[in-house]
Structure 1
Amino acid sequence: MNEKSWSKHYPDSISSTIDIPNVSLQDMLLKTVKDYPDQIALSFYHKKITYRELGHLSSLFGSALQHTCEMQPKDRVALMLPNCPQFAISYYGVLKAGGTITQINPMLVERELQYILADSGAETIVIYDALYPRLKTIQNETNVKNVIVVSLQPTEAIFAPDFTFDQFVQSAQEQLKEVSVDPKEDVAVLQYTGGTTGRSKGAMLTHRNLIANVEQCLEFFKDEFTFGEEKCLTVIPLFHVFGMTSCMNLSIRIGAESVILPKFDVDEVLKTIETEKPTMFPGVPTMYVALTNHPNAEKYNLGSIRTCNSGSAPMPVGLMKEFERKTGAKILEGYGLSEASPTTHVNPPFGERKPGSVGIGFPSTEYKIVDLAEGKVEVPFGESGELIIKGPQVMKGYWNLPEETANTLRDGWLFTGDIAKMDADGYVSIIDRKKDLIIASGYNIYPRDIEEVLYEHQSIMEAVIVGVPDPYRGETVKAVIVKKPGATLTEEEVISYCQDEMAPYKVPKIVEFRNELPKTSVGKILRRSIRDEARQV
C-alpha cells in the first residue's frame, strides 16, 4: 500500500538503496589511516591525535590484549569511560584483537555494573579512575580478571596489580596478531538497553550492522560532508549508541576531527564551538535547550555549525526555530534505537523538513505501521500503530535471550514497541514511546529498574514509576508509593535511598505517597492512569 512512499523524496544524486561493503570497523579505520594519515582524528583540550597515531595506538592496545591478557577472539571487553581519546583507542583496539565491546554507562552503580559484567562475561574492563572503587567492590562477583585504569588528570594513585592505561599500551611487546572477522556474523558491540523483565539486555550489533548505519548516514548526508575537512563536536556520550555511531564511527569514516568533551557544560560547549569551529553537532534536545536559553548565546560565534542531528527524545518545534535563528545551523530531527545501531529515520537535508516528525527512512531501510493487537496488518496513512523496521542496521538479536529476540525480531522485522503514524509522504511521527519508557535528558529510563529497587525497601508496600513533563529534561522521574502499614517514610528518605542504589539520572525527583494505587480487576497496577493523572497536575 505505502511501498517506499518516502523514496520519492531522494534526489537523483542520493540512492535510496545502497550496497553495504563487507568490511569490519577496523578495516574502515585502516582505510582512513591510509587516506588521511596526518589529519587530526581526536582533539581533547590541548591534546591532538592524528589518524596515523590512532591507528598505531589502537594496534598497540589490541596487541596488549592478545599477549598481556591472553584475550581470545570473540571475548568481551567492557568500556566504562567518559568521552576521551582512550575510548576510541580502546574501542578499536578491542576490535583489532577480534573482541566484542561491552558498552557500560559510567553512571551505573555497583549492582547495575555487576549485572552487566556478569551477563556479558567480560574478563577485561577499561575504566575511568574515579569509578575504580565502584568496580573493586563487586569484581569478585564477576569474571573480570584484567583492569585497565584511565586517568584524565595526573595522579599519584597506584592501581597495582591492575594497569594504568599507559602501562598497558607500553606492555605491547609483540606484533598484533591479525584476526579474521565475518562482518555479518561477528558481534562488534553489546549495547545494553532496558528489558521488559526489568533487566538490561545486550543488543548484539555486528560489524555489518554498524558499518551499514555509517554508510546509510554517509549516503543520506552526502551533500553535507567533505572528506578530510569536517569537525564533529563530540559531547554526547560515546557509550551511548547515538554518540558511538553519529560522532565516533561516522567521523572516522569521513576523516573528520572529533572535538571531544567529557561532559556537557553549556559554557564550555559555547567556548569550544567558538574556538574549535566544529561543523557537525549531533546532540539531544536538552543540549539545544541549554544553548538556546543561555543569556550570552548570541555573543558567541556559533556560525561554523552547519548540521545538528537531534535524537533520543522529541524536539519541541519552538526550540528548533530559536536555536536555528541564533546559530544559523540546521536541526534535523531523527529517530533510532539501540537495536538498529541506532538510526533509521531523519528529516532529510535535501527535502522538506516536517517539524514534529522524525522524517523519512534511511537508505535501504524499510518500515511500516502495523496494528497494535498482532502486528500483522498495515494501517492506513495517518492512523496510529506500531512502527516496525527492516534493514541492514538491525541487530542480530539479544545476547543470550532467545525469547526476547524472537518477540522483537519477527520475519526479519524489528518491532520497536513505539506507537507512530505515517503520512502519505512517508514521514513518521512518534505518538507514544514504549508505553513505560521515560526519556530524561536523552537517557532511557525503564520504570521497572527503579521499582525493583523501591520494592526492596522495608517500608514500601507498592510503588510505581512514571515520567512527568519537565521543561528542561523533557521528562523527569516521579515515584508514587504506598507505605506498609505503620511505616514512616519521607520523600527525602526515598530519594536518599535511591541515590545509593542507582545511577543519578534514574533517581526520582518527585515522590508522592498514596493510600492505594489504581488497579485492574485482576490486580494489575494501572500505570497509564497514574501517568495521565501526574501529567495533568
Structure 2
Amino acid sequence: MLNLAVILRESAEARPAAPALIHNGATMTYAELDARSDAVAEGLRARGIHPGDRVALQLPNVPDFPVAYYGILKAGAVVVPLNVLLRAPEVAYQLADSGTRLLITWAGTLADAAKAAAECGLTEVYVAGPAEDPVHPFTDLMAPVTEPVTLYETEPGDTAAIVYTSGTTGRPKGAELTHFQLYMNADIPGRLFTIDPDDVILTVLPLFHVFGMSSAMNIGIRFGACLSLVSRFVPQQVLATIERDRATIFDGVPTMFGALLACPELDRYDTSSLRVCVSGGDSIAATVLDAFEQRFGVPILEGYGMTETASTITFNEGPDERRVYSVGRPVWGVQVQVWDEEDRPLPPGRDHVGELVTRGYHTMRGYHGKPEATAEAFRHGWFHTGDLGYADEDGYLFIVDRKKELVIRGGYNVYPREIEEVLHRHPAVAQAAVVGVPDARLGQEVKAFLVTRPGSDPSADEIIAYCRERLAAYKYPRLVEFRDDLPLSGAGKVLKKLLT
C-alpha cells in the first residue's frame, strides 16, 4: 500500500505545529493541513466519490489547493489538476476526457468552469475563494472529522493524478501519474536538494502544473518544509515574499529569473535568505544564469523533466557537482540515452545530437484512454521525450532543441497545432501557420501567419480577439501577419522554418 498522501500524514505526525503553508502572511500548520484535507476526504466519500473516481482541481496557488489535493488522494480518488487560464471549451474537453465526477474550482474561474461543467452534464461543482453567492462553497465539501481518517489503501501502480499535456498533434493528452511515481519524484529530488524542515520554498510555479505540483509542493510536504505560496508571478511581490518569509529555495522557469533581475526595485529587497534556486521548463540563457548568480549570490541548479515523468529526469546535484549550462545527470533510478532517428543509441559528444529517451520509476502509466499514443511514446520499452540533446563523456546532458513545433512562452508550453485549429475555424482564414518568435521578456511569443479567403479582409486585432475568446491567455497569438501564400514543401507541408 502506498498512498501519496502519506507524505502529509507523516510530516503532520512528526511536526504538527510546524508551518506547512504561508499565504499572504497567514500560516497553516501541518496539523491543520492534515485535518482539513481529512475533512475533504470525508466530504468526498459522503458525496459518493469512490476510489478511482476523478476529481478535477482548478485552483491557483492558495492553501485550498494542497488541502483539496491531499484530501482527494486520501479518499483514493484521482486528482485532475486544471490550468486556471483555460477557457470553457478547453475545460470541457478535459473534464469529459478524464471522466471527472466532481469539480473544485476558483471564484475567478467559475464563469468558464460553470459553462464547461454544464456542457459535460457535471452538477457537482464546488467553489473556493470569494465568490458572489456560489452554489456550492468549497467549505460545504468538508465533512466534520474527530480523528485522522484512514488513507485509502492504493497500490503503488494506481493512478494518483491525470495531468494534461499537449502532444505534437496539439490535442491534450492526460498523463496518468502513479502514487509510486509521484512519491519517488518527491523523495529522490528532495534528497538531492537536501531539503529539510527548516527550508521555506517560494512556490510561485503553478501547482496545477507538474513542475510546481511535484518539484515544489510534494517535495516540500515530503520533507516537512514550509511552502510560501504566491498566486501570481509579479517580480516585486516575489521579492517581497522572499524577504518576508525568509525563503531559502526558489523554483522557477528561465523567464522568472530574467524578470527578477530586471526588476527596477530589486535593491530594495533582502533576498539573503536564499540558499539555492532551481530552474526548469526550458533552457536558461547563460547570460541570465551568470548575472543572476552574481547578483543574488546563490547557485541556479538546472534540471530537466516532463509532465509524463512527473517532473524530474535529470538534475545538477549541487553547486560543487554541477556542470554549468547542462541539465545535469539522470537522478537515482532513472536511465537516459540519446538515440538517432533509427532508435539506435548515440555515443557521447556535442556532435552526436539525438532524441532523449528514458526509462525508470519516473515514467507515467500511460496516456489516459489513448493506447496507441502510449505505445508510440514507449517504443522499445523507453519513453521518447521528443527533445533533442547530447551527453558529454561524464554523462551530463545538454538540451539543444525542443520538439520541432513547441513554443515555450513564459515557461508555458504552447502547441501551434491547437491554435491553428482554432484559426482555421475563423470564416476568413484559408491557411494558418503558428510559430514562436524570440521575445526578450517571455523567451518566445506566439505569432500567426495567415492566408485569407478571397473577399475577406479581417484585421489583426479581429483575429487576436477571436483566439482570445477560445484559448487560454498564454496561448493566443499576440502577433499576426497576413501573406498571399505560405511556403510549402514538395509534399505540401508548410515550411515553418521559413516563417519568422
Q: Distance in 1 between matches of 2:461 and 2:436?
A: 19
1:57 equivalent in alignment to 2:57: no
State the match for 1:88 in structure 2.
66
- Alignment correspondent of 2:50: 72
1:210 aligns with 2:191: no
Amino acid at match of 2:86: L
State how 1:168-187 maps to structure 2 within 5 Å.
168-170=141-143, 176=149, 178-183=151-156, 185-187=157-159
Task: Pick from 87, 95, 101 the counterpart of residue 79 of structure 2.
Answer: 101
| Map 1:81-480 → 2, pairs under 5 A | 81-151=59-129, 153=130, 155=131, 157-160=132-135, 163-170=136-143, 176=149, 178-183=151-156, 185-222=157-194, 225=195, 227-349=196-318, 351-371=320-340, 373-382=341-350, 383-480=352-449
| Counterpart residue identity of residue 29, structure 1 | L
Secondary structure of the 2:42 match is helix
Q: Is the 8 A contact 2:168 2:405 kept in 1?
A: no
Q: Please identify, of 206-215 and 290-299, the stretch whose mean Cα deviation from structure 2 is larger.
A: 290-299
**Amino acid of the residue matched to residue 394 of structure 2?**
D
1:48 to 27, 44, 50: 27
Is this contact kept in 2: 1:298–1:326, CA < 8 A? no
User: 1:117: Cα distance to partner?
Assistant: 0.4
Q: Distance in 1 between matches of 2:8 and 2:381?
A: 29
- Structure-1 separation of matches of 2:211 and 2:381: 23
SS in 2 for 1:251: helix
Contact 2:253/2:282, CA 8 A, preserved across alignment: yes
In structure 1, what residue type is equivalent to 2:69? Y
Distance 1:122 1:464, change over 3 A: same
Q: Aligned to 1:411, what secondary structure does the other structure show?
A: helix
1 CA distance for matches of 2:17 and 2:385? Answer: 42
1:229–1:463 CA distance, 2 compared to 1 (3 A):
same
Calculate the TM-score normalised by the size of structure 2.
0.97
> CA, structure 1 residues 174+251, in 2 after alignment: closer, same or farther (shift >3 Å)?
closer
1:354 aligns to what SS in structure 2?
coil
Q: 1:304 to 1:178 in 2, by over 3 A?
A: closer
TM-score (norm 1): 0.90
Secondary structure of residue in 2 paired with 1:41: strand
Query: Which deviates the most, 376-385 or 239-248?
Result: 376-385
Question: Secondary structure of 2:227's match?
Answer: strand
Q: Deviations over 1:331-387 (max 9, x none)?
A: 01111100110111122205443332211111111111010x221343443211000
Amino acid at match of 1:195: G
Task: For 1:334 and 1:58, locate their aligned partners in 2 and report how far apart those are by CA, in whole Å.
Answer: 31
Query: Which amino acid is the alignment partner of residue 174 of structure 2?
Result: G
How far residue 270 of structure 1 moved from its aligned partner, in angstroms, is 1.2
State the aligned residue count.
Answer: 499
Sequence identity percentage: 38
Question: 1: CA distance between counterparts of 2:97 and 2:237?
Answer: 37
Q: Which amino acid aligns with 2:403?
A: K
Residues of 2 paired with 1:348 and 1:247: CA distance? Answer: 16
Could you give the per-residue CA deviations for residues 254-294 of structure 1, whole angstroms, max 9, x where no partner exists?
A: 11110111111111111111111100111111111111111
- Unmatched 5+ stretches in structure 1: 1-21
In structure 1, distance between residues paired with 2:475 and 2:261: 25
Aligned to 1:23: 2
Q: Deviations over 1:402-451 (max 9, x none)?
A: 00000101233110000111111111111110111100100000001100
Please report how far the alpha carbon of residue 91 of structure 1 lies from its aligned counterpart in structure 2 after TM superposition: 0.2
C-alpha separation between the residues in 1 aligned to 2:263 and 2:190? 32
> Do the aligned partners of 2:35 and 2:148 also contact (CA within 8 Å) in 1?
no
**Whole-Å separation in 1 of the counterparts to 2:493 and 2:152:** 51
Cα distance in structure 1, aligned partners of 2:11 and 2:145: 23
SS in 2 for 1:271: helix
Q: How does 1:505-516 map to 2 (within 5 A)?
A: 505-516=474-485
Q: Secondary structure at the match of 2:405?
A: coil
Aligned to 1:9: none
Q: Secondary structure at the match of 1:95?
A: helix
2-side partners of 1:470 and 1:168: how far apart? 44
Match of 1:485 in 2: 454
Partner amino acid for 1:194? S
Q: Distance in 1 between matches of 2:116 and 2:110?
A: 11
Query: 4+ residue runs of structure 1 moved beyond 6 angstroms?
Result: 171-175
Structure 2 segments unaligned to the other structure (5+ residues): none
SS state at 1:466 partner: strand
Secondary structure of the structure 1 residue equivalent to 2:35: helix
Structure 1 letter corresponding to 2:60: P
Distance 1:43 1:352 in 2: 32
